[in-house]
Amino acid sequence: MTRSKQALTRIIGSALMIAFMSLFIFSFTKTFTVKPDPAISTFALTDYPPRKLSSDDKKLLSIPFIKGNFLLYSGRIDVSMSTHDGDLVVFVPSYTGYLSLQSGDRLLYESKSSGSEFAPNRLQTAFLELEKPYTNHIIYNLIIPDGFIGSPSVLYTGPKEFLEPNHLRYELYKTDLRFFNWSVEVFVICFMGLLFLLRSLDKTYIPYFEAFVFLALFQSPIVLSGFFNLFNLYPYIAVLSLPLTPILFEIHGKITQTSIKLHLQKIKIIMYLIACFLIALELLIPMLNLRKINLFITFPSLLLAIIVLAVWSYYDFIKCNNFKSFVFSLLMTFVAFSIGHDLAVRVGALQSPILMSTLSTFCFLSTLSIIVSSEILKSRTALENHAIISERKLSEMQTELQKSFERTIKLKTENAIQVESTRITRDLHDGVLTYLSMIKTLAEEQSDETLRNIEKLSTNALLEIRAIIENDCSDASNILNMISTLRSQIRIHKEKEDISIHWDILKLADQNIISQTHSLNILRIIQEAINNAMHRAHSKKIIIAVDCLEDENTVVFVVKNTNGRPFSQRKETGQGIQNMKRRAKLIGAEFELTGLTDGAVMQLTYKRDILPQT
């Protein structure tokens, strides 16, 4: 799909979503509208011209607690026209200020049953059943502050079965849903605060936390009205929404993953200072009306910022195809519509039976909670993946450390062997070699054949010991030289015993893989195998062969003796064979001894990468 088609699809999808949202808002508004019916009478409480509230009016209405400049709307409602035989009720969906309803000298309704508190900033609802027999007229008194700007209040009279469903919907929406929002917000605040204390959340989640605090703070005066009268504090709480603008920009940056080149922290601090300054100024100058400042400055500024965020998020969605940007754009559009609707109702530009702030708060709370939860789950998944990767790397490091440890042990073992070989060589030179030289000298002076044989044997022993002493560990072909020396040493036995010995060791000239410290052990194994073939098996034919395998990392030594005594694995378990096995194990070689009908085959397989076993 081309880029233009993708953009067109996004635009159509966005238009459908916005249309659906608008239809939902329209249906929502209609739900709380009292449907016209001949049995229902409608009265506007502010149709009559108001007058200044006087002290006599306060005494007459028993409202001495109301102080300041207020206007009194008073009028008479005729309910004698109702022809309905059922219960008759009076329903005022929304009003601000103080409202009392009287029938003759009897008080039917008052804003506060105690008559000791007054909350001009609270939107209230009145619903009461009229007792039979109905009086012809109801007198109402509506008191609002002088200069108050707001939507006109409407009073309905009619059958209970017609108006009670509207009242129940109002209570569910204005009371129950608001209390549910506030409870969730307080829970989220406490939960996130605990996570911050436990350092399970980092500072990137602070904007979300501040947004939840503001939401709970704005609804506290209404939710806690059963315990405290905080409605007079509502203008001060509302002006604190000034810092909410940079907070929303921070949330936008977190959700859409875009960098905002603004000093949001500094702007937020400035907004806090401005809000505190306005509050202090209103306390010092009573004539300053914070309610008007909120209606004409605070909330319009917030509305403008939300509109900018909605457009910005939608642009991010079109540009980057970020679904979170689309969700945030729809959320900001709905919140902007709700704030604009409520502002129009507050300033009297729009007559609406209900405010949409509770619904927008619920949507904002739900969306923000889902986003925060998804971000936390995403972070947790990332941490788990990081832990798995770290565990894998740790395992690899442990394996490498184990290999390094084994190499270190190998080097230490080889070094210890070298040191011990040096000591043995020195002892051979200083001790055994001296005595053999003396035996050779004494045997040379005699003419007896036995002594001549002793002289030859001592000569071979001297040559072998010198070969050991003069072994050059830096010579890569050391094993070939040592086997060649061995070949010359056993020539005398070959001539005397009439033994045929065939040597096939030229392939050793091309190899360079045998460890320098392992050459002597290989020589001793071959020497012991030849010695067993000559003196134990009395073989007349011996073959010594060397083969280098194709992988160039393995050398195979074979000693085969025939025309002699048969080999028995159960009987031939002398010290010589055990020494050959120990030497093979020491250098990491594979030792195999196979019996024949007239001899045996010894095979020694040496590999470069096999570590010696201790």
- More confident site: 552 or 309: 309
Work out the pLDDT band at 601, boundaries 50, 70, 90. very high
The overall average pLDDT reported for the chain is: 77
Q: What percent of the residues of the chain are helix, what percent strand, and what percent coil, each to the nearest 5?
A: 60, 15, 25
Measure CA 264 to chain center. Answer: 26
128 strand-pairing partners: 90
How many angstroms separate the CA atoms of 22 and 541, rounded? 106
Q: Indicate the range of 35-44, 120-129, 185-194, 431-440 predicted with least confidence.
A: 431-440
Q: Angle 519-535/575-586 helices, nearest 10 degrees? A: 160
DSSP code for 575: H
Q: Angle 519-535/478-489 helices, nearest 10 degrees? A: 20
pLDDT of residue 557: 92
How many angstroms separate the CA atoms of 326 and 318, rounded? 8
Query: Domain spans of the chain?
Result: 493-614
Percent of the chain with pLDDT over 70: 74
Q: Biggest alpha carbon distance in the chain?
A: 164
pLDDT of residue 543: 92
For the ranges 68-82, 119-133, 196-210, 368-382, the maximum mean pLDDT occurs at: 196-210
pLDDT of residue 495: 60
The per-residue pLDDT for range 112-147, each reduced to its tens digit, is: 544 444 555 566 788 888 776 666 788 888 888 766
Helix (H, G, I), strand (E, B) or coil at 610: coil
pLDDT of residue 596: 87
pLDDT of residue 505: 84
How many H helices and E strands in the chain? 18, 14
CB 281 within 8 A of CB 353: no
Work out the pLDDT band at 473, boundaries 50, 70, 90. very low
Classify strands 541-548 and 500-504 as parallel, antiparallel or unpaired. Answer: parallel
| Amino acid in position 310 | A
602 strand-pairing partners: 559, 593
The per-residue pLDDT for range 252-300, each reduced to its tens digit, is: 887 766 655 567 778 888 888 888 888 888 777 766 777 777 777 888 8
Identify the CA nearest to 331 among candidates 251, 258, 213, 260: 251
Residue 276 burial (CB < 10 Å; 0-12/13-18/19+)?
Answer: middle
pLDDT of residue 50: 84
Percent of the chain with pLDDT over 90: 3
- More confident site: 322 or 212: 212
Residue 123 burial (CB < 10 Å; 0-12/13-18/19+)?
Answer: buried
Work out the pLDDT band at 431, boundaries 50, 70, 90. low
The per-residue pLDDT for range 365-389, each reduced to its tens digit, is: 888 777 777 777 777 788 788 888 8
How many angstroms separate the CA atoms of 395 and 406, rounded? 16
CB 495 within 8 A of CB 534: no
How many angstroms separate the CA atoms of 369 and 183, rounded? 13
Per CATH, the number for 493-614 is 3.30.565.10
Q: What's the order of all strands across the beta sheet hosting 541-548?
A: 500-504, 541-548, 554-562, 599-607, 590-596
Question: Which runs of consecutive H residues, i.e. helices, occur in 285-427?
Answer: 290-293, 299-320, 323-346, 357-427
The pTM for the full model equals 0.55
99 strand-pairing partners: 142
